[in-house]
């Protein structure tokens, strides 16, 4: 952290490398300004890149990478912006490899596996000699699989489409990773420890000048092996793009998430869950000769309401690339 430390603290750090982290974490959890959970960053659905893209014919295959990141530097009490009681900062990054396979002309399989990095900075408390410390976790997250069925159009592939699907988020990622011998809190774990049903909706409408598309994933968490159950969660996007030439599309995208409160062994965690809506520009570039599509978006929050006191998202972004095999 680049701060001058007390000689006693420095000596303890040399003899017991994990001790300052454990003491700082324990102190910040018990002090008068309690360490509230970060409901917006609890392990949830993977990036939504696997749900975007055009329709697939029987046997058609697509592979891609979807990445997203969020910075959290602003405290909220409900919808009111406040100074975070513990002065924390956080960052969440995720990159998911996904595959899309046309099983039938109207049925597609989607699978995606994320690698996630979660970080929280706990500030120093000079009055009592506790140094600042960064807590972080990086690991492969939970595998998600979804089967999508094209409901509209009834025949062939049209300019208006509606797909519905169902799947499972499998408990493949670790939910008990530790740092310096201390088990990290649930907000920094990449796995949930639970196998959860997923429900998906994908729709789009094409015009000569552009397109409007939307996708959403609803997750209904079950209780994990550690007795923890996350709140119900929905993630969604709504994009409006205009075409510029044969390869470029530019427009706006709304990105949203809403989640209920978490539950640990029958006790509701009041400072978890909430709603956020973000808005920003999105650009898509197609390379038909490869064939490859590259897309990117940047978001700023336009509405956030947290259950209790939590950190909210300050900004976010996403990037993706996909390759198709006819």
pTM given for the model: 0.83
Instruction: Provide the Cα torsion 253, 156, 293, 209; round to 10°.
Output: -50
User: Is 80 exceeded by the pLDDT of residue 2?
Assistant: no
Residue 12 has φ and ψ, to the nearest 5°, of -65, -40
CATH for 7-46+58-325 is 2.40.160.40
* pLDDT tens track for 100-109: 999 988 999 9
* pLDDT tens track for 130-168: 566 788 999 999 999 999 999 998 777 788 999 999 999
**50, 66 in Cβ contact below 8 A?**
yes
Average of per-residue pLDDT across 77-99: 90
* pLDDT tens track for 240-283: 999 988 889 999 999 999 999 999 988 999 999 999 999 999 99
Element (H or E) spanning 205, and its range?
A: strand 196-206
Q: Whole-angstrom Cα distance, residue 29 to residue 258?
A: 26
Q: Whole-angstrom Cα distance, residue 240 to residue 279?
A: 11
Q: Whole-angstrom Cα distance, residue 235 to residue 313?
A: 15
Residues 6+ apart with CB under 8 A from 46: 66, 94, 96, 98, 112, 113, 114, 141, 142, 144, 169
What is each CA distance from 225 to 116, 192, 199, 268, in whole angstroms? 21, 9, 23, 17
Angle, alpha carbons 27-29-35 (nearest 5°): 130
């Amino acid at each position: 952290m680049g701060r001058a430390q007390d000689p006693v603290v420095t000596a303890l750090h040399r003899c017991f490398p994990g001790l300052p982290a454990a003491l700082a974490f324990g102190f910040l959890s018990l002090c008068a300004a309690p360490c509230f959970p970060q409901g917006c960053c609890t392990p949830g659905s993977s990036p939504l890149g696997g749900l975007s893209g055009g329709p697939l014919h029987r046997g058609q295959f697509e592979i891609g990478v979807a990445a997203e990141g969020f910075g959290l530097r602003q405290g909220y009490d409900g919808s009111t912006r406040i100074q975070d009681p513990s002065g924390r900062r956080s960052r969440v990054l995720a990159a998911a490899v996904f595959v899309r396979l046309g099983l039938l002309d109207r049925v597609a399989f989607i699978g995606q596996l994320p690698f996630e990095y979660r970080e929280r900075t706990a500030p120093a408390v000079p009055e009592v000699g506790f140094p600042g410390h960064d807590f972080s976790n990086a690991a492969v997250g939970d595998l998600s699989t979804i089967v999508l069925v094209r409901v509209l159009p009834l025949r062939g592939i049209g300019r208006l489409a509606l797909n519905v699907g169902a799947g499972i988020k499998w408990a493949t990622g670790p939910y008990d990773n530790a740092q310096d011998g201390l088990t990290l809190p649930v907000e920094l774990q990449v796995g949930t420890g639970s196998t959860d049903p997923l429900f998906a909706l994908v729709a789009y409408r094409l015009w000569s000048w552009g397109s409007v598309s939307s996708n959403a994933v609803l997750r209904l968490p079950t209780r994990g092996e550690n007795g923890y159950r996350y709140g119900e969660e929905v993630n969604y996007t709504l994009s409006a793009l205009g075409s510029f030439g044969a390869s470029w599309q530019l427009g706006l995208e709304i990105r949203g998430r809403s989640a209920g409160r978490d539950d640990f062994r029958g006790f509701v965690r009041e400072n978890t869950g909430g709603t956020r809506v973000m808005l920003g520009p999105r650009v898509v570039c197609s390379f038909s000769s490869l064939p490859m599509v590259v897309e990117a978006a940047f978001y700023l929050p336009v509405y956030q309401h947290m259950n209790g006191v939590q950190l909210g998202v300050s900004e976010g972004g996403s990037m993706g690339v996909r390759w198709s095999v006819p």
